[in-house]
Amino acid sequence: MTKLKAISYAEFGHNFIEQVVTAHRLGNEIEALLERTIAGSMRKLPADMLMISYVFKLDDISVDPLLNHLPKIAFMLCVRGNLQLDVELFGIELKFSLAVSIQVQIDVETYAPVILRLVPHPVSGHSIRIDLVGENLPSDVLDKLKLVKPIVRDHIVKEVNARINDPSVQAAANIDVLALVSQVKMAGYAGLFRNQQQPFTINVY
């Protein structure tokens, strides 16, 4: 039998949070909340001289623990995807493919009686990385992209922060540990009951 090591209530609580809110589990939860494809459009400049239609396709999600925040629990969420842009600028139609990376810091807070809350930080332009997909593009195209890129970045910031504040995301950010324990208990009882329902035979020789 493994020898048990006594720890304090404080250490138990920290270990518990660390085990419940893991990077892998958090990534799975967030991926379930996000839509795989997001589409929309925007208009800028006087008289709608710049019109942009976009389709964002999610490629990958990674969640890494921020160890420099210990003993507090925090993670860095990175969402990567491809942004397809159809741009009409001063009557000229252009198409761009952009690789987009969005970083969101998520803190874990504790509330009574046993509730964990995931608190994402609002993002800024510094949280967004945008890279042009493709090589050897004409210089005039790159010049026009310089005009479009800041507008796209600002729109991504607004979109991400709006999703962070969405009521469905806010509700999903609460983890009721007691409810989870109750679900596990009920599942365990159900399994035990099913095992007791298994037929048995008595062999008589």
Enumerate the domain spans of the chain: 23-196
Residue 193 has pLDDT above 60, yes or no: no
Distance CA(131)–CA(187), nearest Å, equals: 47
Pairing of strands 115-120, 92-111: antiparallel
Distance CA(98)–CA(84), nearest Å, equals: 6
Task: Please tell me the predicted confidence (pLDDT) of residue 205.
Answer: 36
| Average pLDDT over the chain, rounded to an integer | 80
Residue with token string 């800028």: 44
Task: Please tell me the predicted confidence (pLDDT) of residue 136.
Answer: 62
Task: Please tell me the predicted confidence (pLDDT) of residue 135.
Answer: 61
Q: Is pLDDT larger for residue 40 or for residue 98?
A: 98
Q: Is pLDDT larger for residue 59 or for residue 71?
A: 59
Q: Is pLDDT larger for residue 96 or for residue 29?
A: 96
Distance CA(90)–CA(199), nearest Å, equals: 78
Which DSSP letter does residue 21 get?
Answer: S
Q: Is pLDDT larger for residue 12 or for residue 37?
A: 12
pLDDT tens across 119-140, in order? 999 999 999 999 988 766 677 7
* b/e burial code for range 124-154 (CB count within 10 A of at least 16 → b): eeebbebeeeeeeeeeeeeebbeebeeebbe
Average pLDDT of span 152-180: 86
Residue 199 has pLDDT above 90, yes or no: no
Residues 6+ apart with CB under 8 A from 152: 52, 54, 83, 85, 98, 130
23-196 — its CATH code? Answer: 3.15.10
Task: Please tell me the predicted confidence (pLDDT) of residue 203.
Answer: 41
